[in-house]
Amino acid sequence: QQQVKQSPQSLIVQKGGIPIINCAYENTAFDYFPWYQQFPGKGPALLIAIRPDVSEKKEGRFTISFNKSAKQFSLHIMDSQPGDSATYFCAASPGEGAQKLVFGQGTRLTINP
Amino acid sequence: DTGVSQDPRHKITKRGQNVTFRCDPISEHNRLYWYRQTLGQGPEFLTYFQNEAQLEKSRLLSDRFSAERPKGSFSTLEIQRTEQGDSAMYLCASSLSVGVGDTQYFGPGTRLTVL
Give pLDDT tens digits for B42-85: 999 999 999 999 988 998 888 999 999 998 899 999 999 999 99
Q: How far apart are CA A20 and CA A83, in angstroms?
A: 16
Task: Report the gap between the CA of A16 and the closest CA in chain B (Å).
Answer: 26
pLDDT at B59: 87
CB distance B101–A96 less than 8 Å? no
Q: How far apart are the C-alpha atoms of A109 and A112, rounded to whole Å?
A: 10
Q: What is the pLDDT of residue B72?
A: 84
Interface of A with B (CB under 8 A): 6, 31-32, 34, 36, 41-46, 49, 51, 89, 91, 93, 95-106
Which tens digit of pLDDT belongs to each residue from B75-90?
Answer: 999 999 999 999 999 9
- Would you write out chain A's pLDDT as a tens digit for each of its 113 residues? 568 999 999 999 999 999 999 999 998 889 889 999 999 989 999 999 998 889 999 999 999 999 999 999 999 999 999 999 999 999 998 765 557 899 999 999 999 99
Minimal CA–CA distance to B23: which of B80, B104, B106?
A: B106
- B5-32 pLDDT, tens digit each: 999 999 999 999 999 999 999 998 999 9
pLDDT score, position B69 = 96
Chain B residues close to A101, C-beta within 8 Å: 33, 35, 43, 45, 104
Calculate Rg over the CA atoms of chain B: 13
CB-based contact B101 A44, cutoff 8 Å: no
Task: Give the pairing type, strands B19-24 and A107-112.
Answer: unpaired
Compute the nearest-CA separation of B100 from chain A (Å): 5
Which residues in chain B are contacts of A105 at CB distance < 8 A? 40-42
pLDDT reported for residue B60: 80
Can you tell me the distance from the alpha carbon of B62 to that of B44, in angstroms, rounded to the nearest whole number? 14
Write down the pLDDT at residue A2: 64
Distance, CA of A66 to CA of A18 (rounded, Å):
17
Give pLDDT, residue A99.
76
Of A34, A43, A103, the CB nearest to B107: A43
Q: How many other CB atoms sit within 10 Å of the CB of residue B18?
A: 11
The pairing of beta strand B44-50 with beta strand B105-106:
unpaired
Residues present in chain B in total? 115
CB A66 within 8 A of CB A56: yes
**Residue B99: is its pLDDT beyond 70?**
no
* Partner residues linked to A91 by β-bridges: A103
Contact A111, A85 (CB under 8 A): yes
**Closest to B24 in 3D by CA, of B56, B1, B58, B57:** B1
Q: DSSP characters for A34-96?
A: EEEEE-TTS--EEEEEE-TT-SEEEETTEEEEEETTTTEEEEEETT--GGG-EEEEEEEB--S
- The residue type at B57: K
What pLDDT does B97 receive? 80
